[in-house]
Structure 1
Amino acid sequence: MIPADHTRRVPVDGGVGASTRRPDGVPKVTGDFAYASDLWHESMLWGHTLRSPHAHAAIRAVDVSAALAVPGVHAVLTHDDLPAEEKHHGLEIRDTPVLARDRVRYHGEPVALVAADHPEIARRAADLVRVDYEELPVVVDEAGATAPDAPVLHPGRTDRHAAHVPHPNIVHRQPVVRGDVAAARARAAVIVTGEYEVGMQDQAFLGPESGMAVPDGEGGVDLYVATQWLHADLWQIAPVLGLPEDRIRMTLSGVGGAFGGREDLSMQIHACLLALRTGRPVKMVYDRTESFFGHVHRHPARLRYEHGADRDGRLTHLTARIVLDGGAYASSSPAVVGNAASLGAGPYEVPNVDIEALALYTNNPPCGAMRGFGAVQACFAYESQMDKLAAALGMDPVELRRRNAMSKGSLMPTEQVVDSAAPVAELLERVRRRPLPPERPWESGGPRGAAGPDPRELPGGLSNTTRGEDVVRGVGYAVGIKNVGFSEGFDDYSTARVGLRVVGGEPVVSVHTAMAEVGQGGVTVHGQIARTELGVERVVIRPADTRVGSAGSTSASRQTYVTGGAVRNACVLVRGRLIELARRRFGGNGDPVWSDPDLRPFDGAIVTATGERLVGIAEVLGGETIEIERRWRHRPTEPFDIRTGRGNGHVQYSFAAHRAVVEVDTGLGLVKVVELACAQDVGRALNPLSVVGQIQGGTVQGLGLAVMEEILVGADARVRNASFTDYLIPTVLDTPTIPVELLELADEHAPYGLRGVGEAPTLSSTPAVVAAIRQATGRALHRVPVRPEHLVDLAVPDTGLPTPD
């Protein structure tokens, strides 16, 4: 029987809303998945990069003769060997040299390249390159960068931000001003201030930078690489090689994580230069230490906040100054500044705001995109302030947040209206009402047992440094707001090519995009969308490359929204073309539907316009193929006003709340995070299992920033801990229970009502953990990551590294 509602379709297995398994899941956990570092070619050479041992130095001379004399070395390249007039690259500002010419500006900057028969030969040859350096004074902080006699790190700047900054060592400055802060301050019953610091965090992806460039013998090159944005790489590579873009073909290789660290170029241009010079394929794979030098990190930040409130706890005003250290080159610092400024008040209604955010040029390692992108740093500060304000008012910290929580229709400090769900109060209430984890025996005074508590359950873990005598428990809450998608007027679009054909008597859908699958599960979601829109079980996801239009970056929680929207749009057009074909072949002028609800899914049947005959998709297609490529854009945004910060700068907002339960050994300063409960509005969960996994992953990354992860940079701007021996990341033994509650409050502006998921939990998990540690210890804790010496009174030797507050 044909349904009266012609828009009705049978729910399909593996479609939108189902927790389908990832096609790359089993190969990854069994070790069969091919990553970029597994690339191989019989005639390939190995590339290696010589990096500067100094953070700031003039290059007086480079001598490569000894390196070229090493047997097995095929090429040694310096800045003088670059083939085109363009010798710089950069995501927003082309200020990063492909190879340093007359100056190096950070520890680890590339100076020369070597191609050899074996990676060890390449490394030994690189060691023989003689570089005559003259060390220069380093700029490491705001005082040094903006002093009247400060060395200007990028003289003669002409980028679009140069005219709006008070000093050339400031990359970008963005104020956000609303209302009358001075008048509000005079009316406030309670005012709290705080100064906060966020350390430099690394993305710590498990697969280091890697790829292979293969010359085509006609002056062009094929590049197989692990990246986050194929086309952005292409747009930067082509001018440096002096080639038109169609002579450079890029294909995504297996990516072992990204989190923002692969948005900037690393080895891409270097491998292409060596391949074109030698006429041989060139493979480059960074080891872990080189990886720490070879990509950008999260901006370390210093933040100064003031909050005021009336006696009822209603916020009267907020002031903030956010200083981000961008390091030696701009990367995405301007956009990070825009996020920090526009989201710097948090998910709260504040009528009077005065925020200033800026990023510096220094000789510290370059910083750019990392999960949370400017909002992470601000969230730690404003959530710490909310706890401080609650204490000053004698109010429950969750109730204070609920009382000031924004909702749909609220105004951002930029005066943009939040025009979709903003369930901040509900998210907080959901995590608060969850049952707390049961008390441990040593907390309740119960028996310990003959063997004592399991050391894995104690602060310090298997190192067994505590027996539980001084362990106390704390509970903390936090909530955050993160934008979704590219902002400030950026033309944020994606492209998808969808084909429908018959293979072996069955209809098969192919989906081709340039989306970088970096672990987020886009290859799964695209198949789900195709099954839902076309009712066809067999879906083939083609390799991502530049033979199809750009999909934008796999960042900003945007890929399901934007590329998913493009896939859906192309599928709808394919469906329309199929219906037209059916009408031509079988007659009728009505609106056919895909299938009768009594039919089993994936019969691939459509109904002709007469409403009497069911015709299979394979029968309609015959030997024809339908293929359509279309772009999809989200609604436009606009730049923030450079003086006031006003503007509809963001397309969508994402919200998450956390409750952290921690145990702290107050005698040794050790922390065990027991539980990190999260509630998040996801609009609609296209793949609930994947969504929960994204939330849990983001939560753990925020936990790492709270208690262990930091790149340590000395007073000489040199990195001190470029290895996983010294840079600590959470392991499975550090990972707490992470219960997740999903809200699905559809955003009417987004495909399927979805909301970007991956970044928001990274914001609120950090301040929630720190709030719980504060409650347990009574310590102020103005800096992350929290170290043992922050929790106990120890005599700490002067190491030249950041000191406890």
Structure 2
Amino acid sequence: MTETARGTARETRPLGTPGVGESARRPDATLKVTGEFAYASDLWLDDMVWGVTLRSPHPSAWIRSIDIGPALAVPGVLAVLTHEDVPGEKYYGLELKDQPVLAVDEVRYQGEPVALVAADHPETARRAAAAIVVDYEPRDAVTDPRKSRNVVRYQPVRVGDTFEADVVVTGEYEVGMQDQAFLGPESGLAVPAEDGGVDLFIATQWLHVDRDQLAPCLGLPPEKVRLTLSGVGGAFGAREDLSMQAHACMLALRLNRPVKIVYGREESFFGHVHRHPARMRYEHGATRDGRLVYVKADILLDGGAYCSSSPAVVGNAASLGVGPYVVPNVRVDATGVYTNNPPCGAMRGFGAVQACYAYESQMDRLAEACGLSPVEIRVRNAVSQGSSLITGQVIDSPAPLAGMLRELEAMPLPSPLPPPRSGADLRSLPGGLSQTTHGESVRRGVGYGVGIKNICFSEGFDDYSTARVRAELVAGEPHVTVHTAAAEVGQGLVTVQAQIARTELGVEHVTVATADTSVGSAGSSSASRQSYVTGGAVKAACEAVRARFEGMPAREALEKFGPIEETREYRHRPTRPMHPETGQGDSHTQLALCVHRAVVDVDVELGLVKVVELAAVQDVGRILNPQQLEGQIHGGSAQGLGLALMEEIQVRDGRVLNPSFTDYLIPTVLDMPPMTLKILENPDPAAPYGLRGAGEPPTLSSTPAIAAAVRAATGRELTRVPIRPEDIALA
């Protein structure tokens, strides 16, 4: 059930197909549900061969020698490459070029790529890769981030000097390593070109930054490395970093033949970054009536073997480290370190997710210590428009957090838990389908969670997008083509771009061209930024086309002037880096709020948990597509549920123990409860259409809400997520 509170009127357009504010049908919807949609793993060309990657079994070791002879002797093998065959620069990286294309002299994590094989069949390539003889000299691995002295970034935040209060609560919290767990593993097809370059058809999140990392490694100018977006089966941050892109291109250029690489599920767990595990210590001080006086926080993030986006993750954890609360005195220390664990980088809500679990757990402790309800403690300290974050940045757009909490609290609760052996449907109980209970040891709990998330890139990043819009007559009818490099990763961006063009130009027939690098950069499909930045670029380009209509209807203008094409870049307002010593600075473009209430039933003897209901209130500024928006809130809440109760990559001594969906558990439709949503529209005057990025905030607040509900049902402290059955039953 969804309720919408509108703050602005919508445009009215004399069109037969939906524009901004309506639930336009996704052009890929039918193909996806019928299984006909072409993902990157479905790519095929005649004469193509298959690439396979050999990966390190050790989290830390010297490489003494590599013997590729046995692999070359396998019939059907066409090439075997090592770091010596990298044609250009041997290192790449999203923020720092510290990651080798193929391991050079050493490996720093289990699964690091060491060699490549190309063969006429994928099974032949796999057998050949297994035949390569690598002489490793294992060495001690640094796997405990508390023992690492190799810092990626340290970011303090300092405000005020009063760190004494009437009521003080402390806690230590831990967040496990979560995987993005997209359904479509890494895949792509590299095709050598006649000009000596290469065309790469790839499932990615960031076409231009992929190209800018690839070209130097391939020894080619950027214009000879052309990327086209292929069907993406989910991303959630894991496709921001390179995976098989350089490897497929190297093999294709060496063989002068198309090369396809597709990871299996196990290799996918080693082939992309994950959410940073975190260890956090918090201390909150307040007056007796629950007004925050100070917060101290020590946040330690395990970045794994390479940098990836760890600096930005640390920045988010620091700047948003106390949540959407007014706190006059702050001492936050956020640190990201290198270890020999799997590399970690972007995942939905990065940095903010980890901190949110800790500060929301603290707010519940503070509520109990002050004798207040979980909602009341949050309302008394909630930010609003005009409040300052701990970085000194003033919230200059609507932030009705207190009202959102009151609305959430007022939502009806689900039916009460039935008495044991009352004849209730056992399927409604935790473990009921397995006949483990008739309700004797089942307890109900209710919990709340609040999250604040930055939208768009931060800290001075030149965040922009480019759109090319062409209007012309096709078979006598006005037709518009929108071309950007923005990656459609399942979030519905293609639909939104078409809606904007229909709204701005009054033209019913709109085509969104395939994203590629032949148009200017659109940045990454991450940070809940594409509707804001690419939407802004499409809007601006459409406005430029409309201006050339000279007030005439589209058909009349195009008959008179012929095709009209305009390209525009859109940049949001500037941000600046956090001060390295005080953490002060207007580091974020936009901020978004979401609040959750979770209702859970827990079998306290077996440790089984069933989430009965999730309710959420979120302010999105302006709804562009109601149905897609609801899907984003549901999806973010599902990933938050997974982090709360089941999702964790188990790493022991640097080795991944569960690289499969048999052992790495993710929520299914049976784990997701009914959701009640209230969506608010309080426009941000600085954003296109007043919109506010919406995909990530639900991921923050759902996790602490569920954890709080389990605590309420069990009386356990539960300071770590995911919560495991033994944390409840054996505590």
**Are residue 251 (structure 1) and residue 228 (structure 2) matched?**
yes
Unaligned runs of 5+ in 1: 1-6, 147-168, 580-591, 593-605, 607-614, 795-805
- The equivalent position to 1:119 in structure 2, one of 119, 122, 125, is 122
* Inter-partner Cα distance in structure 1 for 2:422 and 2:241: 55
Q: Deviations over 1:747-774 (max 9, x none)?
A: 0000000000000000000000000000
RMSD: 1.3
* Inter-partner Cα distance in structure 2 for 1:432 and 1:234: 48
* Inter-partner Cα distance in structure 1 for 2:444 and 2:405: 20
Q: Give 3-state SS (helix, strand or coil) of 2:480's partner.
A: strand
**Are residue 56 (structure 1) and residue 60 (structure 2) matched?**
yes
- The equivalent position to 1:454 in structure 2, one of 409, 415, 426, is 426
**Are residue 501 (structure 1) and residue 472 (structure 2) matched?**
yes
**Are residue 27 (structure 1) and residue 2 (structure 2) matched?**
no
Correspondences of 1:236-635 after superposition (within 5 Å): 236-442=213-419, 447-448=422-423, 453-455=425-427, 457-460=428-431, 462-579=433-550, 592=551, 606=552, 617-618=555-556, 620-622=558-560, 624-635=562-573
Q: Deviations over 1:362-395 (max 9, x none)?
A: 0000000000110000000000000000001111
**Are residue 739 (structure 1) and residue 676 (structure 2) matched?**
yes
* Inter-partner Cα distance in structure 2 for 1:734 and 1:719: 25
Q: Deviations over 1:490-511 (max 9, x none)?
A: 0000000000000011000100
* Inter-partner Cα distance in structure 2 for 1:683 and 1:250: 34
**Are residue 41 (structure 1) and residue 45 (structure 2) matched?**
yes
Q: Give 3-state SS (helix, strand or coil) of 1:271's partner.
A: helix
* Inter-partner Cα distance in structure 2 for 1:659 and 1:619: 53
Residue 79 of structure 2 corresponds to which residue in structure 1?
Answer: 75
Q: Which amino acid aligns with 2:425?
A: P
* Inter-partner Cα distance in structure 2 for 1:755 and 1:217: 45
What number of residue pairs does the alignment pair up?
721
* Inter-partner Cα distance in structure 2 for 1:548 and 1:559: 16
Q: Deviations over 1:154-195 (max 9, x none)?
A: xxxxxxxxxxxxxxx110000011111xx341xx11000000
Residue 762 of structure 1 corresponds to which residue in structure 2?
Answer: 699
Q: Deviations over 1:637-677 (max 9, x none)?
A: 00110000000100100000000000000110000001110
**Are residue 88 (structure 1) and residue 91 (structure 2) matched?**
yes
Shift of 1:145: 1.2
Shift of 1:623: 6.8
Q: Which amino acid aligns with 1:403?
A: R
**Are residue 695 (structure 1) and residue 672 (structure 2) matched?**
no
- The equivalent position to 2:596 in structure 1, one of 643, 653, 658, is 658
Shift of 1:447: 2.9
Correspondences of 1:171-190 after superposition (within 5 Å): 171-180=152-161, 183-185=162-164, 188-190=165-167
Identity of aligned residues (%): 65
* Inter-partner Cα distance in structure 2 for 1:729 and 1:325: 22
Residue 163 of structure 1 corresponds to which residue in structure 2?
Answer: none
Q: Which amino acid aligns with 1:752?
A: Y
**Are residue 645 (structure 1) and residue 573 (structure 2) matched?**
no
Q: Which amino acid aligns with 2:662?
A: T
- The equivalent position to 1:753 in structure 2, one of 687, 690, 694, is 690
Q: Which amino acid aligns with 2:537?
A: A
* Inter-partner Cα distance in structure 1 for 2:182 and 2:436: 29
- The equivalent position to 2:663 in structure 1, one of 726, 743, 746, is 726
- The equivalent position to 2:173 in structure 1, one of 196, 215, 224, is 196
Which structure is larger by alpha-carbon Rg, 1 or 2? 1
In the alignment, is the contact (CA less than 8 A) between 1:507 and 1:618 conserved in 2? no
Shift of 1:461: 5.2
In the alignment, is the contact (CA less than 8 A) between 1:92 and 1:330 conserved in 2? yes
* Inter-partner Cα distance in structure 2 for 1:123 and 1:460: 41
* Inter-partner Cα distance in structure 2 for 1:213 and 1:55: 29
Q: Deviations over 1:673-722 (max 9, x none)?
A: 011101000000011111111001000000000000000000x2100000
Q: Which amino acid aligns with 1:659?
A: R
- The equivalent position to 1:16 in structure 2, one of 15, 20, 24, is 20
Q: Give 3-state SS (helix, strand or coil) of 1:296's partner.
A: coil
In the alignment, is the contact (CA less than 8 A) between 1:202 and 1:711 conserved in 2? yes
Q: Give 3-state SS (helix, strand or coil) of 1:762's partner.
A: helix
Residue 151 of structure 2 corresponds to which residue in structure 1?
Answer: 170
Q: Which amino acid aligns with 1:512?
A: H
* Inter-partner Cα distance in structure 2 for 1:484 and 1:779: 34
Residue 134 of structure 1 corresponds to which residue in structure 2?
Answer: 137
Q: Give 3-state SS (helix, strand or coil) of 2:548's partner.
A: helix
In the alignment, is the contact (CA less than 8 A) between 1:506 and 1:618 conserved in 2? no
Moved more, 630-639 or 7-16: 7-16
Moved more, 123-132 or 465-474: 465-474
Residue 102 of structure 1 corresponds to which residue in structure 2?
Answer: 105
In the alignment, is the contact (CA less than 8 A) between 2:441 and 2:603 conserved in 1? yes
- The equivalent position to 2:642 in structure 1, one of 698, 701, 704, is 704
* Inter-partner Cα distance in structure 2 for 1:38 and 1:464: 42
* Inter-partner Cα distance in structure 2 for 1:463 and 1:363: 40
Residue 191 of structure 2 corresponds to which residue in structure 1?
Answer: 214
Shift of 1:446: 7.6
* Inter-partner Cα distance in structure 2 for 1:668 and 1:414: 44
Shift of 1:427: 1.5
Shift of 1:619: 5.5
Q: Which amino acid aligns with 1:739?
A: T
* Inter-partner Cα distance in structure 1 for 2:29 and 2:345: 29
Q: Give 3-state SS (helix, strand or coil) of 2:363's partner.
A: helix
* Inter-partner Cα distance in structure 2 for 1:304 and 1:464: 40
* Inter-partner Cα distance in structure 2 for 1:621 and 1:432: 58
Q: Give 3-state SS (helix, strand or coil) of 1:729's partner.
A: coil
* Inter-partner Cα distance in structure 2 for 1:421 and 1:500: 36
In the alignment, is the contact (CA less than 8 A) between 1:639 and 1:647 conserved in 2? yes
* 1:248/1:616 CA distance change after superposition, 3 Å: closer
In the alignment, is the contact (CA less than 8 A) between 1:578 and 1:621 conserved in 2? no
* 1:128/1:381 CA distance change after superposition, 3 Å: same
* 1:792/1:9 CA distance change after superposition, 3 Å: closer
Residue 4 of structure 2 corresponds to which residue in structure 1?
Answer: none
Shift of 1:467: 2.6
Q: Deviations over 1:591-627 (max 9, x none)?
A: x3xxxxxxxxxxxxx3xxxxxxxx5624643471101
In the alignment, is the contact (CA less than 8 A) between 1:263 and 1:553 conserved in 2? yes
Q: Deviations over 1:249-295 (max 9, x none)?
A: 10000000000000000000000000000111000000000000000
Shift of 1:11: 5.3
* Inter-partner Cα distance in structure 2 for 1:10 and 1:383: 44
Shift of 1:19: 1.1
Shift of 1:577: 1.2
* 1:644/1:202 CA distance change after superposition, 3 Å: same
Moved more, 466-475 or 45-54: 466-475
TM-score by length of 1: 0.88
Shift of 1:454: 3.2
